[in-house]
Amino acid sequence: MSSRSHAPTLRCMGGMSCLDAGSIEILGTDAAPDASDWRQDLAFVSDEAVFYENWTGRKNLDFIGQFFGDWSAARAKELVARFACPVDQKVKTLSKGNRVKLALIAALARSPRLLLLDEPTAGLDPVVRSEVLDVLWELLETGDRTIFYSTHILGDIDRLADELVFLHDGQIVQRSPKDELIAAWGQISFQLEGDLPALEGIAECASEGSQHRLISCAREQTLANLHAAGAQNIQQSPLPIDEVAVSILKGAGHVAHRQG
């Protein structure tokens, strides 16, 4: 998850851009730009995938398959059907969504150990988007595959992610297991006369008279503080992961960062 500037990170990980400083390891191997062995276990998908424009999608897939020993023509055929991808059209006539489908097929047909995805469901209709997420989930179910997934479509992360990393201006705001975020963040409403006591981990707060509503990134601690202060009619619920993401990227992340 990022508010901006995630593409350079992915391009460096995929070997398409050089680092200004530091180094990258892919599956335990130094991802040196002048080496190629580490690329065999990696695939990168974005809406900027490069194909031979005057070839059909099918011809492009056949061509790509020659370069990978683990390429599965049967898998490619299955994915073409599941994604309803018009592979008999020339690539230059394909919509943005169909180009993304073609790129996903080219990546998934060789079952990479690491799959880098940059906004993979952008431009897809809801039915195909759901099918793509199903396929990605099936890939993760094998237990020996990793997906590095960058997206602004917050509904995708709840279904697929085990761990979330939030980036802003190229810097990590927070990195946490998804389940820990769900456990920590919550929405709390309560009644309390007078001034609010000092509360830990508050990301947002709205009050009207003695009625208060807040979002906390330290839900259990906040509840303990409220009980100690004598708050009444306390109601609380987990915050959906997409709302957690919004709160972090809106600026509440500095609170959560201290928590982590």
Q: pLDDT (tens digit, 9 = 90+) per residue, 171-212?
A: 788 899 999 999 999 999 999 998 888 888 899 999 999 999
Structure tokens belonging to residue 176? 């946490």
* Residues 82-107: tens digit of each pLDDT: 999 999 999 999 988 899 899 999 99
Among 105, 86, 104, CA closest to 95: 86
Task: Say whether both 22 and 145 belong to one domain.
Answer: yes
Task: Say whether both 65 and 24 belong to one domain.
Answer: yes
* Residues 33-88: tens digit of each pLDDT: 666 666 778 888 876 788 999 999 999 999 999 998 889 999 999 999 999 999 99
- Residue-wise DSSP of 133-156: HHHHHHHHHTSS-EEEEE-S-HHH
Find the domain containing 91 and state its range.
7-161
Task: Say whether both 102 and 196 belong to one domain.
Answer: no
Q: What are phi and psi of 103, to 5 degrees?
A: -65, -40
pTM to 2 decimal places: 0.74
Query: What HEC string does 162-219 produce?
Result: CEEEEEECCEEEEEEEHHHHHHHCEEEEEECCCCCCCCCCEEEEEEECCEEEEEECCH
Q: What is the mean pLDDT of residues 21-43?
A: 71
CATH, residue 17: 3.40.50.300
Residue 186 and residue 216 in contact, taking contact as beta carbons nearer than 8 Å: yes
